[in-house]
Amino acid sequence: MGLPDHGLPLVQHSLLLMLQYYKQGKISLEKIVEKMSHAVAECFQIAERGYSREGYFADLVMVDLDAETNVSKDNILYKCGWSPLEGTEFPAKITHTFVNGNLVYENGRIIDSHKGQRLSFNR
């Protein structure tokens, strides 16, 4: 018997949840970037991350605000294989993800490129 799951699998859909609030007029796109990128890098003092700046690592997510995402077992990327958001439809779609400037996700497909690097901290 394995160890029990801890917490909920939500990180894959956290940006989509925020974009849903944007579509509802509850938050601006600028505030989403601030909260989900800038503030995280600053809070944990992660070196050269969290901003789109010269000399920083290019970790970027591209979204289509005119498309929709329906969460189903077929598109869940969590190792546990489930999400409490199954059946939820979001009014946006993540189309591409870049890590260190390298394409690692494209239209529902993970590109097995192992382009991640160990994070450095300014502390």
Q: Any idea what the CATH number is for the domain that residue 50 is in?
A: 2.30.40.10
Contact (Cβ atoms closer than 8 angstroms) between residue 108 and residue 97: no
Q: How far apart are CA 81 and CA 50, in angstroms?
A: 29
25-72 pLDDT tens trace: 999 999 999 999 999 999 999 999 999 999 999 999 999 999 999 999
For all residues of the chain together, what is the average pLDDT?
A: 92
Predicted confidence (pLDDT) at residue 116 exceeds the cutoff of 90: no
pLDDT at residue 41, rounded to an integer: 96
pLDDT at residue 115, rounded to an integer: 74
pLDDT at residue 35, rounded to an integer: 97
Give the structural domain span for 92.
Answer: 11-110
Q: Which two tokens stand for residue 108?
A: 């529902």
pLDDT at residue 8, rounded to an integer: 86
Which residues neighbour 79 within 8 Å (Cβ) at sequence distance 6 or greater?
A: none
Q: What is the pLDDT confidence band of residue 86, given thresholds at 50, 70 and 90?
A: very high
- Higher per-residue confidence, 113 vs 90: 90
pLDDT at residue 1, rounded to an integer: 55
Q: What is the pLDDT confidence band of residue 3, given thresholds at 50, 70 and 90?
A: low
Residue 119 counted as domain residue: no
Domain count, the chain: 1
Q: How far apart are CA 36 and CA 51, in angstroms?
A: 11
Residue 72 counted as domain residue: yes
Residue 44 counted as domain residue: yes
Residue 104 counted as domain residue: yes
Strand partners, 31: none
